[in-house]
Amino acid sequence: MDIHPTAVVSPKAELADDVRIEAYSIIGPRVELGSGTIVGPHAVVDGWTKIGERNRIFPFATVGYPPQDLSYRGEETRLVIGNDNTIRENVTINRGTQRGGGVTCIGSHNLLMAYAHVAHDCVIGDHVILANATTLGGHVRIDDHAILGGLVAIHQFIRIGAYAFIGGKSGL
Known catalytic residues? 120-121, 138
Q: Which residues contact 50 (CB under 8 A, 6 or more apart)?
A: 31, 32, 78, 79, 80, 81
- Please tell me the distance from the alpha carbon of residue 100 to that of residue 94, in angstroms, as a whole number: 12
* Phi, psi torsion values for 37, nearest 5 degrees: -75, 140
Note whether 7 and 21 are within 8 A (CB). yes
